[in-house]
A = this chain, B = another copy of it.
Amino acid sequence: MGNEVISYLSKHIKLSPRQKELIEKCTIVKSYTKGTILLRQGNIANESYFVLKGIVRSYAINDNEQETTIEFYPEEQAIIPLTYGKRIPSTHFLECLEDCTLIINNPEYEQEMFAKYPEFESICRVMGEVMMAQLQESFTDYKTRKPEERYLYIMEHRPTLLQRVPLYQLASYLGIKPESLSRLRKRLTKNN
């Protein structure tokens, strides 16, 4: 069951055979039905996840009641809420867009693991750093690209998203209204 986790982690750091063994042993797996809210904005985030099957969306609602999709997490993605393990209320929601199978983690269990297998702590630290760098990069990218360029990027690099995600949610991910995404797509099919 932990194979997917190992394949994911291996993209970012080198794992020793012993570490791989460890990960396989220590995973808690749960399933959720489509539509399940894993975390609510304002609540405390006391779990982190790893997606084995399905797709999870993270989104936030601001004072204008506008909903913004922050990220989609399909298979082989780690989901670590920003407020994970802190006392601060969560800044965003987590929602299952399909029936999902997830690996669950929580701070207490993590601490237990760290005590038993100290190497685990640096793995987690590195993962945190990687996520932060990715976040910064996508922010920079977001500022320099137009919605159309962002859409084309997704078509090229994450084409399955288009089949699995409602377009109005993709629109809020791109930072435009659903109508604009609709027209953008029409434009693209015409010109090619």
Q: Could you tell me which A residues sit within 8 Å of B by CB distance?
A: 60, 62, 64, 66, 68, 70, 82-83, 86, 88, 91-92, 128-129, 132-133, 135-144, 172, 175
Contact = CB atoms under 8 A, between A and B. Distances in A.
Which one of A66, A68, A135, A140 has the greatest number of beta carbons of chain B within 10 Å? A140
Nearest to A67: B144
The number of times this chain is found in the oligomer is 2
A141 to B, nearest CB: 7
16 contacts: A62-B140, A62-B141, A62-B144, A64-B144, A68-B143, A70-B139, A83-B133, A91-B140, A92-B140, A128-B132, A132-B132, A135-B135, A139-B139, A142-B142, A142-B143, A143-B175
